[in-house]
Structure 1
Amino acid sequence: MFFPWINKLKDDPWEGRPSKLNFDENRIIPVRFVNGKDNPLEYRKLKDVLNRPGEIEEHMQAHLRMSRMFFINCWHMNDGESDSQWKIYGTSPFSMAVVSSFSLLSSAITDDKEIYGSRVSYYDPNNETTSEGNAFFLATHKRNAFIHEREFRLIYCDHSIIKTLDDPQGISVSIDLKILIQKVVISPLAPPWFVTEVKTFMQTHGLNMDCVQSELLNTW
């Protein structure tokens, strides 16, 4: 299963970026100054905490560098089909959708790589900041404009890439297709011969799960 490098996900130019409001110099943040004793929590403007010239810019660039370490495999969460997903990602009549579940995804990964899973959270970039408490938030937050994706992500993290100029396409993760796939749904635009070919291919390779053509364009 292919995990594109996060910088290759071109549909969203904000991919891997925190909210721009995180770096607003007048943003109020909680701080605890420690000088030999346990001081109470205080609230200060960002510019009063990162007060060295250029320090806020350095803080922002550090976050952007950190996002380089993520490789992402994207899924759509739904109990049924999505017209928008077919129109965005399945424009070819020879497209197919793989139906799985979190438990099947977890069980199907046979690779030694440590893979994490997370729902994507959506936020209003004009009014909300994003968490800075964990670097993984860089890979699991997107703007509300993408909320229709209802996205779940598998994430692989390679810390070594942060300090390099590498420009990878992505990585491959070994999986067991017989465990991963619950059902295959073929494009509603597919010709009958293609549906037959897919079913024959699956049977030939021992993939005995359901294979159906989408009924999205059918009528009663």
Structure 2
Amino acid sequence: SYISCWCMCDCDLDLMWKGYVRNPPGIAIKSSVRRLKEICDKALSHRPIDISKVSYFDHAGGENINYFGTPTAFLYKDKHFRLDNEIRIIHYPNVSEPSPTHVLLLVDLKDLIEDVVFQPRVKESTVKSVREALSRVGLEEIPVLASRDDRELIE
């Protein structure tokens, strides 16, 4: 199976920057559940895809989920991850075919990306480089935002 994980929080979280950016500077791609669903709907003709919200349970408190061997195993996490507020796009490949290392979905980035958000304390040179890269691929209209902690730093 191939999984793409998305946080459904209203703003960027320090927890996410610290947990997922190993080598700063980092950026986050902001999209919406509606946009993700539309992209998945378009891709369904090519691949079996599911988009579902993750459920959180209290494993330490004795709550168990019996999901051995079922696709729903990918849709549960311990409650200490609940701030992730996660939605997952899952592709279940045909088991009779060899499994590639990755699966590509043809996506128009203009349909996917609402904003590009930088992690806190990003350098202006990095912002400039990302804006130039967006411009080179025809995405100059996509807003480039600072982290909620630095909103005044990027116009």
TM bracket, shorter-chain basis: 0.7 to 0.9
The 3-state SS of whatever aligns with 1:171 is: coil
Identify the residue that residue 189 of structure 1 maps to in structure 2. Answer: 121
Amino acid at match of 1:103: R
C-alpha change, 1:159 and 1:145, in structure 2 (3 Å) is: farther
Deviation at 1:88, TM superposition (A): 0.8
Instruction: Give TM-score scaled by structure 2 length.
Output: 0.81
The 3-state SS of whatever aligns with 1:170 is: coil
Alpha carbons 1:117, 1:153 under 8 Å: kept: yes
Deviation at 1:167, TM superposition (A): 7.1
Quick one: distance in 2 between partners of 1:183 and 1:197? 16
Amino acid at match of 2:142: M
| Equivalent residue runs for 1:10-49 within 5 Å | none
Aligned residues: 147
C-alpha change, 1:94 and 1:169, in structure 2 (3 Å) is: same
Amino acid at match of 2:53: R
Quick one: distance in 2 between partners of 1:118 and 1:131? 18
Quick one: distance in 1 between partners of 2:14 and 2:83? 11
Q: Deviations over 1:142-195 (max 9, x none)?
A: 12232232211001112416xx9x775332222111100000001223211110
Structure 2: give runs of 5+ residues left out of the alignment. none
Alpha carbons 1:93, 1:189 under 8 Å: kept: no
Q: Deviations over 1:102-126 (max 9, x none)?
A: 1111223454112111111011225
Quick one: distance in 1 between partners of 2:38 and 2:151? 34
Deviation at 1:204, TM superposition (A): 2.4
Question: Paired residue for 1:173, among 105, 108, 112?
Answer: 105
Alpha carbons 1:98, 1:182 under 8 Å: kept: yes
Alpha carbons 2:53, 2:75 under 8 Å: kept: yes
Quick one: distance in 2 between partners of 1:128 and 1:147? 15
Identify the residue that residue 119 of structure 1 maps to in structure 2. Answer: 53
| 1:216 and 2:149 matched | yes
Deviation at 1:217, TM superposition (A): 4.9
Amino acid at match of 2:111: I
| Equivalent residue runs for 1:96-135 within 5 Å | 96-109=27-40, 110-111=42-43, 112-126=46-60, 127-130=62-65, 132=67, 135=70
Quick one: distance in 2 between partners of 1:84 and 1:98? 16
Question: Paired residue for 2:75, among 127, 130, 140?
Answer: 140
Alpha carbons 2:57, 2:79 under 8 Å: kept: yes
| Identity percentage of aligned residues | 27
C-alpha change, 1:215 and 1:147, in structure 2 (3 Å) is: closer
| Rg larger for | 1
| 1:87 and 2:87 matched | no
**Cα RMSD over matched residues?**
2.6
C-alpha change, 1:128 and 1:118, in structure 2 (3 Å) is: same
Instruction: Give TM-score scaled by structure 1 length.
Output: 0.59
Question: Paired residue for 1:154, among 76, 84, 89?
Answer: 89
Quick one: distance in 2 between partners of 1:203 and 1:218? 22
Alpha carbons 2:11, 2:148 under 8 Å: kept: no
Amino acid at match of 2:28: A
Structure 1: give runs of 5+ residues left out of the alignment. 1-69
Deviation at 1:138, TM superposition (A): 1.1
